Homo-oligomer: A and B are copies of this chain.
């Protein structure tokens, strides 16, 4: 039998803090990082690649946790693992000693995501198809068996989930053809990082519009006068019909969020993203009620499916921004897509960081084909950083993700990138230590 022969975990960090790419009101100096997992097998040339995303310090904790999480996979039959992707997820998740450190949240959950993302990548590569197609060719029963529905049955049972998916089977082929023509719509955040000057902001907004984007997102929340000026610039460039989104990255308490967003209402934002603590379901619901018709978006720090269940129950979100490397891989992502469809909330996944765009394109495409069947109010994040490190980087054209065709989950990174940016001993970091006495 073919089996998993080894697990390699790399702590890889990129020095993004040098250019303030990614800077916002909460995170001023992130070094975009990944705890990167390679599952090797004894089949010629077949490996699985996955990761979780962090912003620097602590990436070593995720890497160490991923090593522990992946340990039970060594020596295991690859056919068996890839043949029941729900079973392997539940087995790893059920380790009660590691569970104590969550459950289903924080470092151990990020590590589970990294490992199970690699298992899903492996399964798609062995099937010779991109992940979106692997999912799109699974039956409703197979999808629901893979999904983590624990703690969700008060709002969505297995049977209801199957019925929901069964209702979307008939149009799958047609929707694939449609997306092969149009791509999946995305928006750009590259323009609006908080550390950028007004001139750079204006130039990047103009560039985005010229490239076909209809949405632009700005970081806000550090200084209201700055926000008013910056939103003015963006709205001027976008014109009245473009969509402006604003993102506070959790800096406000609930009353302050309401007040601040109302002060920016004149710029007609489509949504306010992460207005407060990502854990505050009832807080988001209160903000949503107060700032309507401005939408409320959150989810990149949505720790698990139980949080999203409540967000939907409480009517707290207009847009669900799940994260492919924070939720426990495709297994838990599936559950959140099912819940979102059940409550009729559009999913607009969080991306950017390291490789998140590469992952979420598969999820959005699959959602349209097999879960929601809708593009209404849906637009996936795209950030133009760090794609050069990926073997199969995502391709965006005219404001849309082009459907990936390479087998897998697009998670594999170049060996040279690992060698340069592995921390602390990759060639980049070793060299910088030498010159800067870091």
Which residues of A pack against B, CB within 8 Å? 26-31, 54-58, 60-62, 64-65, 68, 95-110, 150-154, 250, 253-256, 276-283, 286, 301, 303-304, 306-307, 309-310, 313-314
Ranked nearest first, the 7 interchain pairs of A and B with the lowest CB-CB distance are A106-B106, A154-B254, A107-B107, A56-B97, A57-B97, A151-B277, A279-B306
Contacts of A278 in B (CB 8 A): 103
User: Can you offer 10 A-B residue contacts whose CB atoms are under 8 A?
Assistant: A26-B96, A30-B100, A54-B101, A57-B68, A61-B108, A62-B101, A104-B277, A279-B304, A279-B307, A283-B310
* A286 close to B253 (CB less than 8 A): no
Contacts of A280 in B (CB 8 A): 151, 306, 309-310
Contacts of A30 in B (CB 8 A): 96-97, 100
Q: A279 to B306: give the CA distance in the assembly, Å.
A: 7
Q: A281 to B301: give the CA distance in the assembly, Å.
A: 18
A250 and chain B: residue at smallest CB distance: B103
A353 and chain B: residue at smallest CB distance: B100
* A313 close to B62 (CB less than 8 A): no
Contacts of A154 in B (CB 8 A): 253-255, 283, 286
Residue from A276, A277, A280, A309 having most chain B Cβ neighbours under 10 A: A277
A33 and chain B: residue at smallest CB distance: B97
Contacts of A286 in B (CB 8 A): 154
Q: A220 to B104: give the CA distance in the assembly, Å.
A: 22
* A96 close to B65 (CB less than 8 A): no
Q: How far is the CB of A277 from chain B (nearest CB, A)?
A: 4
